Amino acid sequence: MQTILDATSADQVVIVADHLRKNFPGPVVALDDCSLQVRRGEVMVVIGPSGSGKSTLLRCLNGLETVDSGRIVIDTVPLDDQETHRLAIRRRVGMVFQSFNLFPHLTVEGNINLAQRLVRGRSRTAALATTVSLLDKVGLADALHRYPDELSGGQQQRVAIARALAMHPKVMLFDEATSALDPEMIGEVLDVMRTLAAEGMTMVVVTHEMGFAREVGDRVVFMEQGRIVEQAATDDFFQRPAKERTRAFLGLVV
């Protein structure tokens, strides 16, 4: 499955994950020899049944969880024990969570400004300018002074996306970003993600939205029981799945 890259394409690879293994206490293997590469501007969609390790894989990519063995390199920075590398990677990788995780004690402005000021050291005015333009982009220009609990789920998730984007990440990770939303709000969040993909953002998207995967994904990874069963270009994956398990899964969900 793993492609051998020549020198020119190597610098286009933003995410390298090599033979990742992780065990949780108990009989279930969290990650079993997972390898993947994501190129600049690519949208990789990770699908699979619940408990298949999709989220764990994603969370390992920015060091929220540690792997037992294997190698992760993000934008030429290796993710290892060094705190500086860990921080450097987190500054390059934005993450959007299923449960939004906005800071409830801060306004939308405070939420988006915070890391810009603390991590990027931007001035208040510079941070605010970025915040305002990003809110405009996710369609929430009027929410600047609202608190998270005054917003709907879909609005909160769009603020969370803006908050991640404010750090100018090289990669965006989406961990089931629409799974906690009411059906009528899924669309507005997927629209924002679609726009990002069109602008060339490198994205890894864990999702149950097959329509979105088909439409936006460049490549699809199918996982089951901690293993990557199949990964392929989107058209191939949906029209000519190679593995029996993939066909069975697609038969169930599509």
Partner 1 sequence: MSTSRRVSIIRDLVLYVLTCIGLVWLVLRGAEQLGYQWHWRQVAHHLIVMGDGSLTAGPLIRGLLVTMEITLVSLVLAGGIGLTVALLRLSSSRLGRCAARVYLESIRNTPLLVQIFFFYFVVAPLFDIGRTTTAILALSLFEGAYVSEIIRAGIISIGRGQWEACYSLGLSRTQSYRAVILPQALRRILPPLTSQAVSLIKDSALVSTIAVYDVTMAGRTIVADTFLVFEVWFVVAALYLTLTLSLSALASRLERRFPRVA
- Please report, as ranges, the residues that interact with partner 1 according to CB under 8 A: 62-64, 87, 90-91, 93-95, 97, 99, 101-106, 114-115, 118-119, 147-149, 163-164, 167
Q: What is the DSSP letter of 44?
A: E
Shortest Cβ distance from residue 227 to partner 1 (Å)?
Answer: 25
Phi, psi values for residue 247, rounded to 5°: -60, -40
Shortest Cβ distance from residue 236 to partner 1 (Å)?
Answer: 32
Q: Which is nearer to partner 1, 54 or 90 (CB)?
A: 90
Shortest Cβ distance from residue 111 to partner 1 (Å)?
Answer: 9
Q: Which is nearer to partner 1, 91 or 194 (CB)?
A: 91
Q: Which is nearer to partner 1, 90 or 219 (CB)?
A: 90
Shortest Cβ distance from residue 105 to partner 1 (Å)?
Answer: 4
Residues 211, 223: contact at Cβ < 8 Å? no
Residues 196, 36: contact at Cβ < 8 Å? no
Shortest Cβ distance from residue 160 to partner 1 (Å)?
Answer: 8
How far is residue 19's CA from residue 89's CA, in Å, rounded to a whole number? 19
Q: Which is nearer to partner 1, 111 or 246 (CB)?
A: 111
Give residue 216's Cα distance to chain centre.
Answer: 14
Cα-based angle 58, 122, 164 (whole degrees, multiple of 5): 20
Q: Which is nearer to partner 1, 181 or 228 (CB)?
A: 181
Q: Which is nearer to partner 1, 45 or 95 (CB)?
A: 95
Shortest Cβ distance from residue 26 to partner 1 (Å)?
Answer: 19
How far is residue 174's CA from residue 40's CA, in Å, rounded to a whole number? 16
Give residue 244's Cα distance to chain centre.
Answer: 27
How far is residue 185's CA from residue 24's CA, in Å, rounded to a whole number? 34
Phi, psi values for residue 224, rounded to 5°: -155, 135
